[in-house]
Amino acid sequence: MSRVLIVEDEQIIAEDLAVRVGAMGHEVVGFAISGREAITLAGEKKPHLILMDIRLEGGMTGIEAAALIREQTKPAVVFVTAYPGALLRDVPHLADREICVNKPWSKAQLEIAINKALARQFNSTS
């Protein structure tokens, strides 16, 4: 079972993600709505995976928060966004290495993205 942090500023979407992630057998260890909150929770909860929206409350994007979190705890990150072009525009050198699920997503898309991110994470740490 993997520990998952959900970073999403829309509560209904965060709750839906939590239900789906739980049904896949993972444990949701927390929710954040801003980049700063995500950084704090990631440091405290040490998730294996973060489901990260790109547009968050506060001044920090999910892309910026993910970069700072990865310096601390090195979790896998799946960007969950209605704005996939933002990933290509803001970090084109990373876009081919990032895993992104577009809103709205299907159960299969989310499951594939999570499994791919966790497998990549496991392979990079072993």
Find where tokens 């896949």 sit: 24
Read off the pLDDT of residues 4-28 as tens digits, 9 standing for 90 and up: 999 999 999 999 999 999 999 999 9
Listed in sequence order, the DSSP H helices in 25-83 are 35-45, 62-72
Q: Which two tokens stand for residue 108?
A: 């299969």
Q: Between vectors from CA 55 to CA 59 and to CA 122, what angle results, nearest 5°? A: 110
Confidence of residue 1 (pLDDT cuts 50, 70, 90): confident
pTM greater than the 0.75 cutoff: yes
> Per the omega criterion (within 30 degrees of 0), is the bond before 75 cis?
no
Query: Fold for domain 3-125?
Result: Rossmann fold (3.40.50)
List pLDDT tens digits, range 30-61.
999 999 999 999 999 999 999 999 999 999 99
pLDDT-derived band at 121, boundaries 50, 70, 90: confident
